[in-house]
Structure 1
Amino acid sequence: MLTKRSQVLEESITLAIASLANELKAKGEDIISFSAGEPDFDTPKAIKNAAIAAIEKGCGKYTAVPGIKEVLKAVQTKLKKDNALDYETSEVVVNVGAKHSLFQCIECLVEKDDEVIIPTPYWVSYPEMVKFAEGKPVFIEGLEKNGFKITAEQLQKAITPKTKVLMLNSPSNPIGSIYRKKELLEIAEILKNTNIVVLSDEIYEKLSYDNTEITAFASLNEDTLKRTVTINGLSKCGAMPGWRFGYMASKNKELISAVKRLQGQSTSNICSVIQYAAIPALTGECDQDIETMRQAFEKRRNVALEILEKIPNISFYKPEGAFYLFINIQKIEKDSMKFCKKLLEEEKVAVVPGVGFGMDGYFRISYATSEDLIKKGLERIAKFIKNYN
């Protein structure tokens, strides 16, 4: 009865683990969850006030498919101010979260057997989106010694006549690594004289640490501007995960037109009230809230690193952004699913197995939770590893 493409989709492992942890908590179990990829901070007051004002003004009607003019202008302003990117409002579409932006782009770009290059480890949804479009995910392993980032040389070897799209994610999930400008320029040079579209997922762009600079791929030069779809949203840096506000911008008029048609025949506009609520987050009214959150995450990262450094037989990359740690447990257990299930059963700590990110023998923790829970949870993990058999 079901289509083949619907049956190839796998459940999101991060959402599944988070759901299981919540179920166990509801049963009274003392669960510490490091699984969810969402800030534990409340949505900034300016965003809430804008939503309330929109409701009271009766802004609950349908809007234009790509978004109201005010929010498109706000995205345009944000991209210019933060990323040195010049887009017309007609080149912007707001979507139901950055995941929706990515999904629609892949549906509009990828046909059967088209190849999409995905660096590993990857965010769990990238390959599933490609498979749903009947495309072929082509994985390039980001080596631990390179901060799990791919090199221009690796990219060049992976490109074939069937390559349609390159996925880029910086700062990345699950690593928290950041591509430096020099690295991006080297990648950009390889892409010259090709028709490869870059989907640049920049959802964690305002969460960087140790004064590490963030560079938008599209901002490098005229060629990258033309070939890149800049994708972002407010789930992470705006503490708005459940509000579902994402956006995309592209100079590719055919793609923008196709996405508008697809969205018009699926969701139509995104929630009208949330469009108004997003404006203060995009125009800078919440910058101090975001910076407060960023500083807290950096402090939590340091707390976690201090504890992890004392645990034998593991290794990890010091994240420069986002709010994750990707921990190598290959000296202890190569089957990450087995390790994580036992950890949840025996020590009541929920983490995400690395196999879901394309790298077995690792697990991911999110430190988007309190310092007390970080300390308590990592102490349980240390105990679990010491006694593991």
Structure 2
Amino acid sequence: MPRIRTVKPEFWEDEVVGLLPRDARLLFISTFNMADDEGLLRWTPAYIKASAFMYDDDLTLKHVEALMDTLADAGLLFPYIGGVARQQMAVVVNFRKHQKINRPQKSKLPPPSLGNYRVREMYARRDGWTCQLCGLPIPRLLVVNDSHNLSIDHIRPQSAGGTDHPSNLRAAHQACYQSRRNTPDGEEFAPPPGLAGLDDSVNDALTRSMNGHGDTLNDSLNRSLNDSVNEFHAPHNPEATTSTQSDIPSLNHSLPERKGREGNREGKGTPPTPRQSSDSPAVVQTGERAIEDRMTDAFLERYRSGNAYTQRQVRKVIADALTNGTNPDELWKALERLGSLSKPITANTLQFAFSELRQAQQASNVIALPNGQQLTGTDAKVAGWMAIAEQLRQEGDLA
């Protein structure tokens, strides 16, 4: 049943949300009402149409489905298949950062299965890839030292009635998870010795991601995933069954830096720091991984910190641009332009970046009339340009 929810003023200022189509923004707000106190809701076009757009005859089920995909692509919702009945469900990713629940009621909907690594990764992204027990970073790729890899901790242990619902879960290192389980009740948690060398593991994962070798330790895991997320998309998008880990929607959208009492107090978030663009060349295809994957990793490594960039959205924009025949070097310069300004990566903002780059290039190609002449009249201007043409021709002959 629908519930009373709130919409914070920062919602309208967020650039990620602001670039969504208006109907998608309306649908996102409506999910607050449709979701239960855990942020779970049914996620079928027919249900969404009947709940959010019941009087809008101009919106067909196909239109509603496209709006749902837009929210999933932006990382605002995470679709999954849940329960014995295999219902099509979704999680409002940062629901508890959007809503303060005074008297939360138990969810009657099945949560996403923690047996799926993509679900565990979803919670890690929601928590900023930071261990919620020790406060240290979690490697974003699997590392050799398993104590440093991602685990999901139950705030209220399952033995005490805790569930797998989002509000009871938090990202943690394997070592911290095991240490907390072995800590007697009443004793304060202390970071375990197994965290030794964590900086090396984090740097190793970062380096492998940049160099395109991140799949080495993850291939066997990816092949064995019971990918319920892809199953959800399969009826509508057959190609989704071949998606990789890079296609997973990120969970760091929806104003996670500015909202909620769990993190910074409302309105006190630190704004993204503008980056300086470098002259580094575009990422090129090496045969190891697709160029869109390598370019996505390189961009996120340079510009993700402090911004709400998501791997899936950035990769989609890059892949679409390359499919349309965009030169990789020009594309990389446009991405650097947007990243240096902390702008969202969308098809629209990419076109603005291309426009700025081309205008700058045209300006740099302007040739002044000889001797700073201020020529007036058609004949005088033609004479001036003919002199420049002759000068260029002579320089070409000398070369």
TM-score range with shorter-chain normalisation? under 0.3
Q: TM-score, normalised by structure 1?
A: 0.27
RCO comparison, higher one (Cα < 8 Å, 6+): 1
Instruction: Flag the structure with larger Rg.
Output: 2
Bigger fraction of residues in strand: 1
Q: TM-score, normalised by structure 2?
A: 0.27
